Copies of this chain bind each other. A is one copy, B any other.
């Protein structure tokens, strides 16, 4: 397999698929639509998990674990939710295999082991969790319930792509229950803000916060808050959603509480989630034709050190110098790898670590030892500098912060250049076909228009931005009155 990636200009989609595999993030498995997340990719996901988990706990949430399976009748209880997810689910119907009498060595489903009621592999856990909450909530004193679950879910997608759309994926799903509508709405907004904070400040990916239209809303929610990111090819990617569920699930599962006056009321709910899809967003926001570019906060290896030598003696001297720099860096919490493989040349190593997106590379040869310097290269902009060895650990620590900030600033500047206000449908189409990005346009508020525009352009309403200005206008498609602009885009 050649190390050369297809370039983004040649074929963005091919570039993405190749990069995910070659950088050892993930690969397709022998199971249709399911991926294997490889150790390097999983290490990045673990860093995301750790930070999100910390943020969830800091905002008062606890983790728990609920069953993988949802009995069909339980799944049916919240009608919209069931309809929204029933079309793409894996269904367990039997619980035993037996030896196939006609084919020695082969197994067959035992027809005598048919389940009385089919089990759905959870596509999302509202049903199973709200059926449990019924037993946990009696009085207002039991509220709020602030619970999160890290889990795998399955949606039977027909067209799958590594991280972006897979039959099985990993995610977290928060499910909270509250005494009042106000509190539940506040929770939905709070978690959308936690997601935005995480994605922007930890992943260096700028997002637009907004509301989904009714068409794009989560099945069973009253309101869906979302954060939308923009990829390098001008397509949007939904990076996280937070749903205000109203009393829909409480009513479907009869979850009531006695308020302070002893009156029975239905509980108010929220749910919110982000998934391994974020790995796709990470790749498509920062990476380039040489490979992955990782923000230092998420890089499993932040600094790689490559020795350049001709003799064993030189290598020993370099290794000694590297040992003390590595120790100093580790003391500052920086993760370092010393790549002293003797089986590969420096050029090969440089290319490999560029492919894998290590933020900083230090090269050191005999000349450097003489001069008391190291060569420091940034992965993000490929610049190099010669840096004095003494105190280099502080230089590197600052550089890592700088890289994190620069990655965000660059992505933000790209995003800002890709929000285009349009006032006619001609303009609308030409921006979409041209540079892409978010097209900010007036819309008459109807699902019919939304659908029509989608048919004609493949663009959907990504969100009604939370910070939009009230502005009277006329719909870009129908000319009917509008109260403000919404963001359209083609999307992943």
Contact = CB atoms under 8 A, between A and B. Distances in A.
Contacts of A65: 36-37, 42, 45, 170
Interface stretch (A113-121, A194-202, A204-212, A366-374): A113-121
Given A76-B106, A97-B120, A107-B75, A46 B63 contact: yes
User: Chain A interface mostly helix, strand, loop or mixed?
Assistant: mixed
Max chain B Cβ within 10 angstroms of own Cβ: one of A31, A76, A120: A31
Contacts of A333: none
Interface of A: 27, 29-31, 34-39, 42-43, 45-46, 62-72, 74-76, 79, 82, 86-98, 105-107, 109, 118-121, 128, 131-132, 135, 141, 147, 151-152, 154, 156, 168, 170, 343
A39 B142 CA distance: 14
A107 B118 CA distance: 11
A37 B147 CA distance: 12
A92 B121 contact: yes
Contacts of A120: 97
Contact of A72 (B37, B87, B97, B119): B97
A149 B68 CA distance: 17
A294 to B, nearest CB: 17
A88 to B, nearest CB: 7
Given A43-B62, A97-B86, A119-B31, A67 B131 contact: no
A105 to B, nearest CB: 7
Contact of A30 (B35, B86, B89, B131): B131
A239 to B, nearest CB: 20
B67 A86 contact: no
The 6 closest A-B pairs by CB, nearest first: A34-B67, A39-B62, A86-B97, A37-B65, A95-B156, A91-B94
Given A62-B39, A90-B92, A109-B91, A30 B76 contact: no
A109 B90 CA distance: 10
A107 B91 contact: no
Nearest to A94: B91
A121 B366 CA distance: 56
Given A66-B36, A168-B69, A87 B76 contact: no
B98 A67 contact: no
Nearest to A93: B93
A74 B64 CA distance: 32
Given A34-B67, A68-B121, A89-B97, 4 more contacts: A29-B66, A29-B67, A87-B96, A95-B156
B67 A43 contact: no
Given A62-B43, A63-B42, A105 B91 contact: no
Contact of A93 (B43, B70, B87, B109): B109
B96 A86 contact: yes
Nearest to A69: B31
